[in-house]
C-alpha cells in the first residue's frame, strides 16, 4: 500500500472514463446509502456501530472501532457503507486491489487538542499521555484501509476549496492512469462523512452507476453532505 499526504490547489481538469457505483454517507443523526436509497437514524456512534454490524455493513467485527477517534470512526463507517452500496464484499482474510483517498477540513485536529488539554491537566503519568494519539490527517483513511483490507494507493489530500470535486477528479486520474482499478474517495470530519466508490466505466454496468460528471455538477452546487445526499437521491431512478 502506497501512502502519502499531499497539499493540492483547487484547479480541476476534465474527468476521464470513471463512474460512481456506491455512495455512503453519515451526518450527525442519520446514515445511509445513495444507490440503495437507504436512510436510517442513529442516536450516537455506539448505536451507529451496532446498526452497521447488525445490517452486515461491517462484514466482520470492527474490534478497533472503540479505540478510533471520532473522525476515524465515521471514516471507517462511511467507507463500509459505500462498499455495501456498490455491492462490493470484503472479509477479514481477503485483500483487494482498491485504493483510498481522503480529505477533510480539520484532519485530526480535535484529537490533538484533546490530548494537549489532557496533558496540561494530568501530566505525563495520567490520562491520555500513555495512549496512541491520532495526529496525522491520513490516519482515519489508514484505519479504514486496514479494516476493509484495501491494498491500493492511499493518499490524504488537502484542498483549499471544492474538496469533493477535487477529490473525485484525483480518484479519476489514478484510475485513468491504471494505478488502481477502483478507488474510495472520502471526505470526513467529526461531524459528517461522505464516501464514493469510483471505478472504471468498462468494469461495471452503467445502468447501476452514476457518471462522474453528474457528481461534479452537484458538488459545484453544494458541499454540505445532507444537501448533496438529497440531490443524489433525485438522480437515482432504478
CA distance 137 to 48: 23
Q: Where are the extended beta strands (E) located within 73-113? A: 99-103
- By C-alpha distance, which of 208, 207, 159, 200 is closest to 183? 200
CATH class label, 5-233:
alpha beta
Q: Average pLDDT of 107-112?
A: 63
Grid cell listed for 118: 489532557
Give the pLDDT band of residue 198 (cuts 50, 70, 90): very high
pLDDT given at position 13 = 45
* Pairing label, strands 210-211, 182-188: unpaired
Helix (H, G, I), strand (E, B) or coil at 5: strand
pLDDT at 66 over 60: yes
Give the pLDDT band of residue 101 (cuts 50, 70, 90): very high
Domain spans of the chain?
5-233
Across 191-195, average pLDDT: 96
Cα–Cα distance for residue pair 98/184, rounded to 1 Å: 7
| Kind of pairing between the strands at 182-188 and 5-8 | unpaired
Work out the pLDDT band at 39, boundaries 50, 70, 90.
Answer: very high
Q: What's the predicted TM-score (pTM) here?
A: 0.85
**What whole-number percentage of the chain has pLDDT above 90?**
61
pLDDT at res. 144:
97
Amino acid at each position: 500500500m502506497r501512502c502519502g499526504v499531499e497539499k493540492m490547489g483547487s484547479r480541476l481538469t476534465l474527468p476521464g472514463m470513471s463512474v460512481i457505483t456506491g455512495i455512503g454517507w453519515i451526518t450527525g443523526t442519520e446514515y445511509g446509502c445513495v444507490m440503495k436509497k437507504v436512510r436510517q437514524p442513529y442516536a450516537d456512534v455506539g448505536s451507529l456501530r451496532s446498526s452497521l454490524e447488525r445490517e452486515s455493513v461491517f462484514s466482520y467485527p470492527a474490534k478497533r472501532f472503540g479505540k478510533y477517534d471520532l473522525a476515524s470512526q465515521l471514516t471507517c463507517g462511511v467507507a463500509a457503507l459505500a462498499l455495501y452500496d456498490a455491492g462490493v464484499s470484503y472479509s477479514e482474510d481477503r485483500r483487494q486491489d482498491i485504493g483510498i483517498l481522503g480529505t477533510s477540513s480539520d484532519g485530526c485536529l480535535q484529537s490533538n487538542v484533546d490530548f494537549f488539554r489532557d496533558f496540561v491537566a494530568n501530566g505525563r503519568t495520567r490520562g491520555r499521555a500513555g495512549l496512541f494519539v491520532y495526529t496525522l490527517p491520513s490516519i482515519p483513511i489508514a484505519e479504514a484501509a486496514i479494516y476493509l483490507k484495501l491494498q491500493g494507493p492511499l493518499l490524504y489530500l488537502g484542498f483549499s476549496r471544492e474538496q469533493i470535486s477535487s477529490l473525485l477528479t484525483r480518484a479519476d486520474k489514478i484510475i485513468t492512469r491504471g494505478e488502481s482499478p477502483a478507488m474510495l474517495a472520502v471526505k470526513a470530519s467529526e461531524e459528517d462523512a461522505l464516501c464514493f466508490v469510483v471505478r472504471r466505466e468498462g468494469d461495471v454496468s452503467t445502468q447501476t452507476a452514476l457518471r462522474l460528471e453528474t457528481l461534479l455538477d452537484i458538488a459545484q452546487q453544494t458541499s454540505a453532505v445532507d444537501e448533496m445526499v438529497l440531490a443524489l437521491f433525485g438522480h437515482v431512478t432504478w
